[in-house]
């Protein structure tokens, strides 16, 4: 038999038993929708985790008193007891942390709003690369300018345009409440990379181009912030940071961070995905078993018809091919229905978890692949049973 004849025969059989065929197609479609939905949900959790991870890679070192009074529930390591008057961080401590070169540290910085000065911040040099602020003219200040208490300032691009419209601000004097400062550079948020989602000491970074940045001109720091590199395991980095602080500062400092929330969120997210995946596998198995039963029923109902076909010259191979192609055609129709179900499921999950769940091309191909394998699985056994039918026994059936 030619392949086109087999396909036309399969389509005719599907039309003849339309309700039964629809049940099989719906079973396959639901299976694909479940697979695609689980994969989409998993991808969403990974994406959300990656976007938020920079928050979890940021740590702060503060005095014990400040840690208790400000954010006691987020203090990962409280090396002293409540009520202790821990020593405030000094400029010397900033340089000590920099010289320590704790493995995995990308940046060490501190930034603090200047009172009674709009959009003005005291900062250390690492704020600029950490916040993805690139130099567009002049230069930024360096650590030696902190030591020398240099009266210099770096302007965000929008602030430079506001303070010095239509002129080059480099070298100009800027009068502030804290004194007169010389403009040495202009920076702007990089446009070709993702913005840093959060800078400790400022908050949301949407207005970074509208700020003034001065070298720290006082010896006391409220906190020092550290950012772990992306390729560093956060828990290992935290252990190294805690060890360094406890060895050099005893009970004077606290290590703060969002690490505990990161760990809890990771556990909760993966537990949710795992639960949904288990349910998806159960649903898929139930669908396959039901489809297998329906296909076997189709074979047994055509028992005599198969016997007649064999008696008039059809080979066992022809019978097998007829039924396996019928299963494949049902699988193709189920794939189409399944992709439509998957699109609907992504919109439903968006509403339920308030996250951008998407049906990617890869997930769709995986779903279609599952449908094809499922079609072969539920089609192979019934087709092999049909090919084994004895025509003599079949013709005796009423």
Per-residue pLDDT reduced to its tens digit, 64-112:
666 555 555 444 555 555 445 556 788 999 999 999 999 999 999 999 8
Once rounded to an integer, what is the mean pLDDT over residues 331-359? 73
Neighbours of 185 (CB within 10 A): 21
Residues pairing with 266 in the sheet: none
45 and 9 within one domain: yes
What was the pLDDT predicted at 32? Answer: 76
224 and 176 within one domain: yes
215 and 121 within one domain: yes
User: Residue 77 belongs to what H/E stretch?
Assistant: strand 75-78
Q: In 3D, which of 274, 344, 331 has the Cα closest to residue 36?
A: 344
Give the rounded distance of the alpha carbon of 365 from its chain centre: 21
DSSP state of 355: S
User: Residue 30 belongs to what H/E stretch?
Assistant: helix 18-56
pTM of the model: 0.56
321 and 240 within one domain: no
**Cα 92 from Cα 320, distance rounded (Å):** 83
DSSP state of 253: E
- Chosen domain end from 198, 225, 257: 257
Name the token pair of 71.
């954010």
- Chosen domain end from 241, 257, 273: 257
What was the pLDDT predicted at 361? Answer: 75
**Cα 93 from Cα 220, distance rounded (Å):** 10
Number of domains within the chain: 2
What was the pLDDT predicted at 264? Answer: 58
What was the pLDDT predicted at 144? Answer: 92
What was the pLDDT predicted at 135? Answer: 94
Lowest mean pLDDT among 20-29, 78-87, 110-119: 78-87
311 and 361 within one domain: yes
273 and 337 within one domain: yes
**Cα 174 from Cα 211, distance rounded (Å):** 13
271 and 247 within one domain: no
**Cα 179 from Cα 95, distance rounded (Å):** 26
Once rounded to an integer, what is the mean pLDDT over residues 253-271? 66
306 and 245 within one domain: no
Structural contact between residues 300 and 393, judged by C-beta atoms closer than 8 angstroms: no
Q: What is the pLDDT of residues 143-158, one digit of tens each?
A: 999 989 899 999 999 9
Pairing mode, if any, of strands 89-90 and 152-156? Answer: unpaired
What was the pLDDT predicted at 108? Answer: 93
Q: pLDDT grade, residue 277 (50/70/90)?
A: low
245 and 298 within one domain: no
Q: What is the mean pLDDT of the chain?
A: 77
Sorted by sequence, the CB contacts under 8 Å of residue 312 that are 6+ apart come out as: none
322 and 377 within one domain: yes
Structural contact between residues 276 and 352, judged by C-beta atoms closer than 8 angstroms: no
- Chosen domain end from 257, 290, 315: 257
Name the token pair of 90.
């000094």
Q: pLDDT grade, residue 377 (50/70/90)?
A: confident
What was the pLDDT predicted at 380? Answer: 78
65 and 42 within one domain: no
287 and 238 within one domain: no
The residue segments making up the domain with residue 182 are: 57-257
Q: pLDDT grade, residue 160 (50/70/90)?
A: very high
């Amino acid at each position: 038999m030619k392949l086109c004849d087999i396909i036309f025969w399969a389509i005719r059989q599907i039309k003849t038993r339309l309700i039964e065929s629809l049940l099989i197609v719906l079973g396959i479609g639901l299976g694909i929708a479940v697979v695609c939905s689980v994969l989409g949900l998993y991808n969403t959790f990974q994406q959300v985790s990656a976007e938020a991870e920079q928050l979890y890679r940021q740590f702060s070192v503060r005095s014990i008193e400040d840690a208790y009074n400000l954010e006691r529930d987020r203090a990962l390591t409280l090396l002293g007891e409540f009520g202790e008057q821990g020593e405030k961080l000094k400029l010397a401590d900033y340089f000590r942390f920099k010289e320590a070169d704790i493995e995995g540290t990308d940046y060490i910085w501190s930034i603090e709003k200047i009172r009674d000065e709009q959009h003005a911040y005291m900062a250390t040099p690492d704020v600029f690369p950490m916040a993805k602020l690139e130099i567009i003219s002049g230069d930024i200040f360096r650590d030696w300018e902190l030591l020398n208490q240099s009266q210099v300032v770096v302007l965000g691009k929008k602030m430079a345009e506001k303070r010095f419209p239509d002129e080059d601000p480099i070298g100009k004097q800027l009068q502030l409440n804290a004194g007169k400062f010389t403009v040495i550079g202009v920076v702007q948020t990089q446009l070709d990379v993702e913005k840093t989602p959060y800078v400790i000491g400022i908050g949301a970074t949407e207005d970074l181009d509208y700020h003034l940045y001065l070298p720290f001109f006082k010896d006391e720091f409220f906190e020092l912030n550290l950012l772990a590199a992306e390729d560093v395991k956060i828990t290992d980095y935290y252990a190294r940071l805690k060890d360094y602080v406890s060895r050099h500062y005893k009970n004077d400092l606290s290590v703060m961070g969002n690490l505990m929330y990161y760990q809890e969120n990771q556990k909760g997210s993966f537990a949710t995905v795992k639960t949904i995946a288990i349910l998806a596998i159960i649903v898929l198995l139930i669908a396959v078993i039901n489809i297998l039963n329906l296909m076997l029923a189709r074979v047994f109902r055509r028992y005599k018809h198969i016997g007649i076909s064999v008696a008039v010259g059809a080979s066992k191979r022809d019978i097998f091919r007829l039924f396996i192609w019928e299963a494949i055609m049902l699988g193709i129709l189920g794939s189409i229905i399944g992709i439509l179900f998957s699109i609907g499921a992504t919109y439903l999950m968006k509403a339920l978890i308030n996250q951008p769940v998407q049906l990617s091309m890869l997930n769709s191909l995986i779903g279609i692949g599952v449908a094809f394998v499922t079609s072969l699985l539920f089609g192979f056994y019934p087709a092999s049973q049909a090919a084994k039918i004895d025509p003599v026994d079949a013709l005796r059936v009423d």
